[in-house]
């Protein structure tokens, strides 16, 4: 009987954790398509999930203390029964307000999965308390079981669950597993209820014995909450960085979250103990490496860039969670312990997802979190160790930070002189490259040197933050900077042009010379894919463009034509009109519609556009829902029979030709490709390398383009099918090669 009870507890905890973290990427994928693939969608979902997790922990803590085990079991059984009424899940139809997407997402989540999610969240701490009442042993060991279920769920979703079931069947599979969980929970509660009747004085004896135990004070609770908040903020910051530069997709949601949960398993496992000084040293290295990758746009390989950010998530979270495990209270205070951890997680989520986008005009919450983590490296019992007199007198201890300050000052002087046209070297690019290589290496080495010196490493991190927040490392003068739900927009100037940057990627530029202001540059140079050899268009042609940027493509329009931009971020339109003149000076009639491009185009009549251009990347992140098989078929319906659909697919990491090749194979259609490498003269005139593909309702349109000599038929090769139900992002990693 004892083994049966223990097995039921283990299965219940494992299954609840599995379901808890399986539903997150499922519903996140659904919401992502409604908000233009914004990386902020997942972080908003996460803060809402953390809030529901807090509600579950609070319910577990207060209901058991207030009602006792038997009455609490009856209440819990009733709530589980009520939760069945919301099955199967259907996302509520909501008006998506562009001004408040956060509120809309949170409302949708609460109305859809609020009650089942909170009950699943409460299960782990409840079962551990039931275990402590009916069994002997350490209930905290079951926490590792919970996190193992969560980890398996997260890793299994992008690799197995989504490819096998997709979104439509995934909902049904999750519902079936939830019903299985209800049955196992009923068995657990029956066993505990009978055990409680056989040991009717167990609860009262525990209450009496707890009176002799030391309670938890506010310092201890704040220490729990602080460490949980830093780990939560660190997770969300890294996830935001990765999904902004690569793609907002489940695989890049679950990998950082899986590492985060893995640190819980390691920290609370009685069999795995890693010395704290080792964890602290690697955390210091991760902080230095992450600051390097965050503040400097160095073209690192993808694997190296990812390893920098994922390493700081792992070791930073392990540091916080190991400290939590070392300070855990007696089983009597178990639910309170988890409650404060959950409070800290919510605080970290609110800081990153709700406050930071409003308070800051850049994603500065990441270095702020790294600074807090740096202070926690040498924290003990919630307090920093004080400097000793011996340390204060030891000049050698201060040499590393002094070296850092001198390095940063020299670098700042060099950059300022560079901005003002100073001739430190004959080659401005070599100066910038030298700075970007030497300083980060110095940061990493000094980070390792000072990892075990209390106060010194923190001092260096503060100096780096001041240096970074002053934007002195930005070689070009910054004109404007805006932040919204959809990302950070910057406008800066070079001696010859004004540049629009979204995230870390240029999304348009304009010559400062008024006579050349309407000349297309960068990706849109006339010699490139968007040049003059496109099929001829009527004088009253209608051009649709997904993605506004600086508004550069408005210069394509001729008098009598209409150019309609579809832009999801209203701040992009504000910046484009305020700091660039493409929209104002365009020869064609220009319209801007705010909202998700796919949803807006779906509402337009069929055969509306002569030319439809897709250029809606945010930073280097791919809005995957805009390039699925269903989306491409939609675009073909919206262009005229002799019209054309073009997509700009330049990307540092992903080969999107594989997706178009799979679409062509499935639909029995043709695709043409243009991989543009500018000549030296074209590059001097502002041209940038770019890659584009084109599809059309009529193959003759594409044959005309190929006959022009620049476009080529998409050659055979690897194909990766994307549909609204299934998206395989990993298989698209690679570089487009000139065929």
User: Which pLDDT belongs to residue 446?
Assistant: 58
User: Which pLDDT belongs to residue 201?
Assistant: 46
Report the relative pairing of strands 562-567 and 379-380 from DSSP bridges: unpaired
Across 93-102, 119-128, 626-635, least confident range:
93-102
pLDDT band at 538 (very low <50, low <70, confident <90, very high): confident
pLDDT at residue 592 tops 90: yes
Q: Residues 171, 175, 176, CA angle at the centre, nearest 5°?
A: 120
Q: Which helix (H) or strand (E) holds 321?
A: helix 302-326
Q: What percent of the chain has pLDDT over 70?
A: 73
User: Which pLDDT belongs to residue 665?
Assistant: 93
R_g of the chain computed on alpha carbons: 28
Residues 6+ apart with CB under 8 A from 1: none
Encode 411-464 in three state secondary structure. HHHHHHHHHCCCCCCCCHHHHHHHHHHHHHHHHHHHHHHCCCCCCHHHHHHHHH
Distance CA 4, CA 582 (A): 72
Per-residue pLDDT reduced to its tens digit, 417-453: 555 544 333 344 444 444 554 555 555 555 555 555 6
Distance CA 531, CA 588 (A): 17
Across 52-56, 294-298, 648-652, least confident range:
294-298
Residues 6+ apart with CB under 8 A from 287: 312, 316, 370, 373, 374, 447, 461
Q: Which residue has the higher pLDDT, 216 or 550?
A: 550
Rounded to the nearest 10 degrees, how much is the dihedral formed by the CA atoms of 174, 178, 179, 185?
160
pLDDT at residue 739 tops 80: no
Q: Token match 């005309």: residue?
A: 704
User: Which pLDDT belongs to residue 388?
Assistant: 43
User: Which pLDDT belongs to residue 9?
Assistant: 80
- Is the N-terminal amide bond of 88 cis, ω within 30° of 0? yes
Cβ-in-10-Å burial (0-12, 13-18, 19+) of 193 comes to: middle
Chain centroid to Cα 297, Å, comes to 18
Across 560-569, 570-579, 605-614, 729-738, least confident range:
729-738
Q: Token match 């042609």: residue?
A: 541
332-357 average pLDDT score = 83
Q: Which of 496, 495, 465, 499 is nearest to 479 (CA)?
A: 499
User: Running DSSP on this structure, what letter comes out for residue 158?
Assistant: I
Q: Token match 């383009």: residue?
A: 705
Per-residue pLDDT reduced to its tens digit, 53-110: 888 888 887 887 777 777 888 888 888 888 888 776 665 544 444 556 788 888 888 8
User: Which pLDDT belongs to residue 383?
Assistant: 31
Q: Which of 593, 715, 737 is nearest to 661 (CA)?
A: 715
Tokens at 376, concatenated: 């926690």
pLDDT at residue 21 tops 80: yes
pLDDT band at 214 (very low <50, low <70, confident <90, very high): low
**Are the CB atoms for 260 and 313 separated by under 8 Å?**
yes
Q: Give the end-to-end CA distance of the chain in Å, rounded to a whole number.
A: 69
User: Which pLDDT belongs to residue 211?
Assistant: 47
Report, in this order, helix, strand and coil percent for the chain, each rounded to 5.
Answer: 60, 10, 25
Across 45-54, 325-334, 382-391, 656-665, least confident range:
382-391
**Are the CB atoms for 725 and 629 separated by under 8 Å?**
no
User: Which pLDDT belongs to residue 35?
Assistant: 72
pLDDT band at 199 (very low <50, low <70, confident <90, very high): low
User: Which pLDDT belongs to residue 422?
Assistant: 45
Other CB atoms within a 10 A radius of the CB of residue 227 amount to: 26
User: Running DSSP on this structure, what letter comes out for residue 524?
Assistant: T
**Are the CB atoms for 643 and 613 separated by under 8 Å?**
no
**CA dihedral sign, ordered 74, 79, 82, 84:** negative
397-405 average pLDDT score = 60
Per-residue pLDDT reduced to its tens digit, 134-156: 655 555 566 667 878 888 888 88
Distance CA 302, CA 591 (A): 38
| 3-state SS assignment for residue 678 | coil
Distance CA 363, CA 507 (A): 18
Phi-psi region of 709 (alpha: psi -120 to 50; beta: other; left: phi over 0): left
Task: Specify which of 24-33, 407-416, 629-638 reaches the highest per-range mean pLDDT.
Answer: 629-638
| 3-state SS assignment for residue 525 | coil
Alpha helices in 455-548 (DSSP H): 456-469
Q: Which helix (H) or strand (E) holds 485?
A: none
Q: What Cα–Cα distance (Å) separates residue 373 from each residue in 282, 316, 520, 649? A: 12, 7, 46, 38
Q: Which residue has the higher pLDDT, 433 or 217?
A: 217
Other CB atoms within a 10 A radius of the CB of residue 215 amount to: 12
Distance CA 734, CA 183 (A): 46
Q: Which of 319, 316, 312, 313 is nearest to 286 (CA)?
A: 312
- Is the N-terminal amide bond of 524 cis, ω within 30° of 0? no
User: Which pLDDT belongs to residue 694?
Assistant: 93
Q: What is the pTM of this model?
A: 0.74
Tokens at 625, concatenated: 């829902």
Q: Which residue has the higher pLDDT, 474 or 652?
A: 652
Q: Residues 556, 561, 566, CA angle at the centre, nearest 5°?
A: 70
pLDDT at residue 349 tops 90: no
pLDDT band at 241 (very low <50, low <70, confident <90, very high): confident
Q: Which helix (H) or strand (E) holds 492?
A: strand 487-493
User: Which pLDDT belongs to residue 382?
Assistant: 34
pLDDT band at 489 (very low <50, low <70, confident <90, very high): confident
pLDDT at residue 294 tops 80: no
pLDDT at residue 298 tops 60: no
Q: Which residue has the higher pLDDT, 536 or 14?
A: 14
Q: Residues 353, 356, 357, CA angle at the centre, nearest 5°?
A: 80
Distance CA 530, CA 591 (A): 20
Other CB atoms within a 10 A radius of the CB of residue 95 amount to: 5
Question: Please, what is the average pLDDT of the chain?
Answer: 77
């Amino acid at each position: 009987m004892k083994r049966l009870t223990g097995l039921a507890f283990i299965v219940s905890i494992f299954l609840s954790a599995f379901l808890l973290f399986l539903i997150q990427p499922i519903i996140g994928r659904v919401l992502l398509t409604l908000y233009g693939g914004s990386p902020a969608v997942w972080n908003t979902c996460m803060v809402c999930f953390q809030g529901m997790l807090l509600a579950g922990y609070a319910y577990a803590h207060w209901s058991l203390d207030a009602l006792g085990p038997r009455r609490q079991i009856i209440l819990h059984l009733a709530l589980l029964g009520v939760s069945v009424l919301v099955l199967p899940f259907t996302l509520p139809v909501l008006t998506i307000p562009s001004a408040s997407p956060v509120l809309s997402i949170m409302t949708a989540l609460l109305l859809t999965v609020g009650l089942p999610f909170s009950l699943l969240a409460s299960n782990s701490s409840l079962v551990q308390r039931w275990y402590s009442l009916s069994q002997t042993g350490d209930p905290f060991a079951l926490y590792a079981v919970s996190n193992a279920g969560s980890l398996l769920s997260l890793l299994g979703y992008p690799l197995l669950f989504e490819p096998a079931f997709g979104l439509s069947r995934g909902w049904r599979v999750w519902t079936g597993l939830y019903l299985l969980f209800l049955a196992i929970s009923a068995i657990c509660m029956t066993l505990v209820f009978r055990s409680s009747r056989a040991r009717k004085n167990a609860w009262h004896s525990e209450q009496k014995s707890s009176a002799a135990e030391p309670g938890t004070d506010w310092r201890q609770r704040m220490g729990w909450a602080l460490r949980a908040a830093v780990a939560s903020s660190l997770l969300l910051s890294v996830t935001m960085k990765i999904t902004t530069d690569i793609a907002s997709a489940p695989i890049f949601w679950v990998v950082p979250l899986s590492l985060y949960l893995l640190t819980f398993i390691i920290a609370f496992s009685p069999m795995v103990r890693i010395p704290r000084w080792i964890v602290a040293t690697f955390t210091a290295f991760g902080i230095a490496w992450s600051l390097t990758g965050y503040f400097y746009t160095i073209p690192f390989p993808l694997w190296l860039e990812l390893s920098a950010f994922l390493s700081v998530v792992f070791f930073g979270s392990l540091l916080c969670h190991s400290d939590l495990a070392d300070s855990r209270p007696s089983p009597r205070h178990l639910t309170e312990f988890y409650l404060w951890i959950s409070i800290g997680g919510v605080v970290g989520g609110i800081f990153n997802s709700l406050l930071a986008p409003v308070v800051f005009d850049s994603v500065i919450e990441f270095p702020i979190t790294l600074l807090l983590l740096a202070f926690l490296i040498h924290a003990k019992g919630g307090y920093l160790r004080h400097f000793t007199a011996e340390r204060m007198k030891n000049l050698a201890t201060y040499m590393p930070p002094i070296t850092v300050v001198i390095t940063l000052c020299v670098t700042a002087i060099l950059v300022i002189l560079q901005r003002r046209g100073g001739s430190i070297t004959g080659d401005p690019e070599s100066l910038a490259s030298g700075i970007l290589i030497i300083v980060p290496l110095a940061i990493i080495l000094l980070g390792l040197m000072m990892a075990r010196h209390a106060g010194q490493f923190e001092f260096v991190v503060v100096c780096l933050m001041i240096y970074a927040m002053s934007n002195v490392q930005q070689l070009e003068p910054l004109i404007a900077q805006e932040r919204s739900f959809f990302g950070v927009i910057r406008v800066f100037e070079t001696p010859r042009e004004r540049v629009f940057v979204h995230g870390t990627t240029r999304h348009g530029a304009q010559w400062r010379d008024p006579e050349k202001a309407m000349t297309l540059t960068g990706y849109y140079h006339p010699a490139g894919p968007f040049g003059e050899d496109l099929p001829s268009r009527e004088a009253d042609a209608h051009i649709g463009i997904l993605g506004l940027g600086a508004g550069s493509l408005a210069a394509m329009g001729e008098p009598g034509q209409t150019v309609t931009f579809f832009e999801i971020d209203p701040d992009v339109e504000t910046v484009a009109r305020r700091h660039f003149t493409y929209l104002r000076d365009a020869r064609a009639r220009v319209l801007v519609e705010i909202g998700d491009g796919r949803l807006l185009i779906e509402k337009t009549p069929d055969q509306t556009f002569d030319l439809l251009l897709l250029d809606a990347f945010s930073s280097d992140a791919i809005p995957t829902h805009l390039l699925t098989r269903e989306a491409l078929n939609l675009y073909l319906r919206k262009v005229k029979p002799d019209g054309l659909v073009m997509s700009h697919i330049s990307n540092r990491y992903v080969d999107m030709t594989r997706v178009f090749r799979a679409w062509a194979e499935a639909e029995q259609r043709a695709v043409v490709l243009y991989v543009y490498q500018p000549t030296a003269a074209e590059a001097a005139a502002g041209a940038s390398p770019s890659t584009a593909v084109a599809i059309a309702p009529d193959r003759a349109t594409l044959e005309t383009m190929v006959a022009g000599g620049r476009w080529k038929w998409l050659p055979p090769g690897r194909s990766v099918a994307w549909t609204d139900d299934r998206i395989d992002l990993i298989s698209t990693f690679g570089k487009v090669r000139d065929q």
